[in-house]
Amino acid sequence: MRRTLPSLMALQCFEAAVRHLSFTRAAEELNLTQSAVSRQIRGLEDFIGRPLFERVKQRLVLTVAGEAYAAAVQDVLDRAEAATLQLMAYRGEGGVLTVAMLPTFGSRWLVPRLVDFSARYPDIQLNLVTQVRPFDFDKVEADVAIHFGPALWPGAICHRLMGEDIVPVCAPGLLKKPLRDVRELLDYTLLQHTTRPQAWNDWLSAAGLQDMDTHQPSLLSGPRFEHFFMVIQAAISGLGIAVLPQFLVAEELASGRLQLALDQPVRSQHAYYLVHPATRTDVYKVRVFREWLLAQAAQEEAALAAPG
Beta-sheet strands, E only, within the chain? 53-56, 59-62, 95-101, 124-130, 144-149, 156-162, 165-170, 192-193, 224-225, 242-245, 259-260, 266-267, 271-277
Backbone angles phi, psi at 244, to 5 degrees: -140, 155
The answer, yes or no, to whether residue 40 has pLDDT greater than 60, is yes
SS3 16: helix
Q: What are the pLDDT digits (tens) for 218-274?
A: 566 789 998 899 999 999 999 999 999 999 999 999 999 999 999 999 999 899 999
Domains detected in the chain? 8-89 (1.10.10.10), 95-163+270-305 (3.40.190.10), 165-267 (3.40.190.10)
Q: What are the pLDDT digits (tens) for 151-169?
A: 989 889 999 999 999 999 9
Q: What are the pLDDT digits (tens) for 276-290?
A: 999 999 999 999 999
In this prediction the pTM is: 0.68
